[in-house]
Amino acid sequence: MKRILVTGSSGFIGSHLVDYLKSKRCYYVGGVDIVQRPYEIGKCDEFVKADLRQANMASAVVRGFDEVYHLAADMGGIGYIETHKAKIIHDNALINLNILEGCRRGGVGRLFFSSSACVYPGYIQNKELVNLKEQDAYPADCEDGYGWEKLNMERNCRHYAEDYGLSVRIARFHNIFGPHGAYDGGREKAPAALCRKVIEAAGEIEVWGDGEQIRSFCFVEDCVRGIYRLMNSDYDHPLNIGSDRAITINGLLDIIEGFEGKKLKRVYDLEAPKGVRFRNSDNTLMKGVLGWEPTTSLEEGLKQTYLWIKERLSLENR
């Protein structure tokens, strides 16, 4: 039975990935995280609470595993990553280098790294809608802080593959959302934040920016299927994993309001963090490499997310 470790196993994507791997019934799945959340859905065969910023801890937890799916990171939505740049770079650089070196020393067979669409240059995302291809990452002009940290780790993975023979797979995630993600506290992303706001709103709702920012959103269950396919492929370059359906934030809000027939007055905060103007995934290479693309509609994914957040808020208010 292949032994697989998921870092960040108590996190949003990590916990869904643990459940997906366990559903295969052919893997021993270990998990490591700095916390173990009370509503964690992942059911690891073993779980270790560890701070991967400590090199000795990282080396110890990866030892004995055949593959490592590395999702542990300090991250959040645009409001968080624009206001915690130094902390994100510091923590994630330590975590990533420690995991890389631990995998090298521990003889891990393959490492998966979760990168981000934030590596793509701002200069091609602020004039018009462009479907971002993997080769568009250079010349580099990443999201300040978080994006540069992700691109740097991509390069580190490449060098460890070239110099030490470590087998690495890299996915660039495009706005992953779904149940069990953050929905308040500052780390939430747009779909979860808007679901929470609509649920709580009576007459009006605050929207960051003018609402005409364009993004694509990928449901978490599709994301983990894509991760698994990539990890078991022969492709060893960065690959987009996301939806190629572009939508404005206003359009996203239209869908969410429709779940309960609400029509709220929109108050636009033009000074709030809002990121690049346009961002959408080009899935041409992903379809060719994996023979696959996401299948969950944005409406269905949002509905599942909305209902989960509504249930959580109801429990909190009892």
Q: Which residues are the active-site residues?
A: 146
Determine the Cα–Cα distance for residues 194 and 191; give it in Å rounded to an integer: 5
Q: Are 151 and 218 in contact (CB under 8 A)?
A: no
Q: Which helix (H) or strand (E) holds 171?
A: strand 167-173
**For residue 70, what are its two tokens?**
């590395």
Determine the Cα–Cα distance for residues 66 and 5; give it in Å rounded to an integer: 8
Three-class DSSP category at 134:
helix
Query: How are beta strands 67-70 and 110-116 bridged, if at all?
Result: parallel
Three-class DSSP category at 44:
coil
Query: How many other CB atoms are there within 10 angstroms of residue 139's CB atom?
Result: 7
Three-class DSSP category at 165:
coil
Determine the Cα–Cα distance for residues 292 and 5; give it in Å rounded to an integer: 24
Determine the Cα–Cα distance for residues 227 and 239; give it in Å rounded to an integer: 10
Could you give the count of Cα atoms lying within 13 Å of 247 in the half-sphere of its Cβ? 20
Determine the Cα–Cα distance for residues 237 and 171; give it in Å rounded to an integer: 9
Determine the Cα–Cα distance for residues 244 and 218; give it in Å rounded to an integer: 9
What is the per-residue DSSP string for 228-285? HHHHTSS--S-EEES----EEHHHHHHHHHHTTT--PEEEEETTS----SB-EE--HH
